[in-house]
Amino acid sequence: MPYLSRPPSHLTRLSVPNFRFLLLFFLTVAVAVQFTACAAPEKQTVDATELTVVDGLGRSVSLATSPERVVSIAPGATHVVRAAGGLERLVAVTTADYQVEDLAHLPRISALPLDLEAIVGFNPDLILASDQVNDPAHAEMFEALDIPIIYLGSDSWSDVHDSILETGHVLGTRESAQSAADSLEAMRLQLISITEGQEVLPTGIFLVSHITSYSFGQGSYVLDLMEWAGIEPLTRSFETPAPILDDEWVLLNNPDFILGTFGESGSKESLLANHPTWRSLDAIRSDRLVDVPASLILTPGPENIRAAWQMAMAVHPALFDSSLTAQKLESERNSQSIP
């Protein structure tokens, strides 16, 4: 499908800074609910002898020694540290990180707005950020304080895979990082082998909210996950990575499935309360709504593999042996400690 030369009139664009804000906002809201109930970046490389990395923003970052006090300022960075086997190096995470057992003992730093003073107060010898979420302008400030900051690449699965390996190198956990990266890649390839080869793919849209139709467009990792799951994303042609779809566009395209991070408040009734004209959609009339946990998909990182599996199982149940698939996911969850 060719890309559009300009956005359609019924599509609202979000700038890159606003897209970062939007992702972090929804992550923060999702965590609160759980608790109460540019040019493509240069590929990251590592110089093993000097412990130097080129991060997701194309910055060269050198470390004098393997860091012992690491602050993660993005949930995706935390997930990468977990996959790389380096959680014991963390001294703080943000309020946007999910309330899971292996992070329960760590202090929380305000994510929105980011509490820069609190970060410095933890005396970190490394800060890990996300090139998709965190403000690149913070790099210069932390550099002036002689605190190295690495923006982990997460534009694509290849970037995430490399980030796991490179984080393992930086933290001295190479073996664990390699094992995790290999296992996750094997899960991805296995899923693709199950879903590929279909003559006609069902179409779908992914919504971040059941109220305002925030979605994902060109350059978004979420669309890659949908394709691995055997779903044709209808928003692939939109040039903006964060389109806001209006009701007319959705009606005209009539997706076979509506996927999203709806949560407990995202029933069909609540979706129709905000979009009453959608009652005629095939996905609504046939109850083809798929809820994906926000913790698995709103953060670009290792846990996205599980999100893709869940979407595929919901959309293509006939392709899966449910008992074997459940065992596979549980095994990977335990071996990689992905929440």
Q: Is the pLDDT of residue 149 over 90?
A: yes
CATH number of the domain enclosing 161: 3.40.50.1980
Within-domain flag for 267: yes
CA distance 204 to 64: 48
pLDDT at 111: 84
Q: Is the pLDDT of residue 337 over 70?
A: no
Domain boundary among 172, 189, 206: 189
Residue with tokens 């400690």: 337
Within-domain flag for 9: no
Within-domain flag for 31: no
Q: Looking at the structure, tell me whether residues 225 and 182 fall in a common domain.
A: no
| Residue 55 confidence class, pLDDT cut points 50, 70, 90 | very high
Specify whether the CB–CB gap between 51 and 62 falls below 8 A.
Answer: yes
Within-domain flag for 326: yes
Q: Is the pLDDT of residue 80 over 60?
A: yes
Q: Looking at the structure, tell me whether residues 240 and 280 fall in a common domain.
A: yes
Residue span of the structural domain in which 240 resides: 197-336
Q: Is the pLDDT of residue 306 over 70?
A: yes
Query: 19 — phi, psi (to 5°)?
Result: -65, -45
pLDDT at 174: 94
How many CB atoms neighbour CB 167 within 10 A? 28
pLDDT at 64: 86
Give residues with Cβ within 8 angstroms of 184, minimum separation 6: 83, 161, 164, 302, 305, 332, 336
Q: Is the pLDDT of residue 275 over 90?
A: yes
More confident residue, 338 or 309: 309
More confident residue, 167 or 132: 167
Specify whether the CB–CB gap between 61 and 149 falls below 8 A.
Answer: yes
Average pLDDT over residues 114-125: 94
pLDDT at 310: 96
Average pLDDT over residues 43-54: 60
> Among 6-15, 55-64, 208-217, whose mean pLDDT is lowest?
6-15
Number of domains in the chain: 2
Specify whether the CB–CB gap between 133 and 30 falls below 8 A.
Answer: no
Q: Is the pLDDT of residue 143 over 70?
A: yes
Domain boundary among 127, 162, 189: 189
Q: Looking at the structure, tell me whether residues 241 and 174 fall in a common domain.
A: no
29: which 2 tokens? 């809201």
CA distance 80 to 87: 9
Within-domain flag for 34: no
CA distance 155 to 41: 8
Within-domain flag for 84: yes
Q: Looking at the structure, tell me whether residues 145 and 240 fall in a common domain.
A: no
Q: Looking at the structure, tell me whether residues 252 and 131 fall in a common domain.
A: no
Q: Are strands 232-233 and 244-245 parallel, antiparallel or unpaired?
A: unpaired
pLDDT at 232: 97
Specify whether the CB–CB gap between 52 and 279 falls below 8 A.
Answer: no
Q: Is the pLDDT of residue 200 over 70?
A: yes
Domain boundary among 189, 213, 244: 189
Q: Looking at the structure, tell me whether residues 102 and 161 fall in a common domain.
A: yes
C-alpha triplet 22, 163, 76: angle, nearest 5°? 30
| Reported pTM | 0.78
Average pLDDT over residues 185-193: 96
Within-domain flag for 229: yes
CA dist list (Å): 187 to 73, 197, 227, 240, 303: 27, 18, 15, 29, 11
| Residue 113 confidence class, pLDDT cut points 50, 70, 90 | confident
Q: Is the pLDDT of residue 133 over 50?
A: yes
Q: Is the pLDDT of residue 47 over 80?
A: no
pLDDT at 91: 97
More confident residue, 264 or 30: 264
Task: Give the start-end residues of each E strand in the chain.
Answer: 11-12, 46-47, 52-54, 60-62, 70-72, 90-94, 108-109, 126-130, 149-152, 203-207, 232-233, 244-245, 257-260, 289-291
Q: What is the pLDDT of residues 6-46, one digit of tens each?
A: 334 444 444 445 545 445 444 444 444 344 343 333 334 44
Q: Looking at the structure, tell me whether residues 99 and 158 fall in a common domain.
A: yes
Q: Which residues pair with 151 in a beta bridge?
A: 129
Q: What does the DSSP assignment read for 253-291? A: H--SEEEE--GGG--HHHHHHH-GGGGGSHHHHTT-EEE
pLDDT at 326: 55
Q: Looking at the structure, tell me whether residues 55 and 162 fall in a common domain.
A: yes
Average pLDDT over residues 259-285: 90
C-alpha triplet 264, 274, 214: angle, nearest 5°? 80
pLDDT at 2: 32
Q: Looking at the structure, tell me whether residues 114 and 213 fall in a common domain.
A: no
Q: Looking at the structure, tell me whether residues 225 and 115 fall in a common domain.
A: no
| Residue 335 confidence class, pLDDT cut points 50, 70, 90 | low
Q: Looking at the structure, tell me whether residues 159 and 204 fall in a common domain.
A: no
Q: Looking at the structure, tell me whether residues 239 and 325 fall in a common domain.
A: yes
CA distance 129 to 77: 6
Taking each continuous run of H as one helix and of E as one strand, the counts in the chain are 13, 14
Within-domain flag for 243: yes
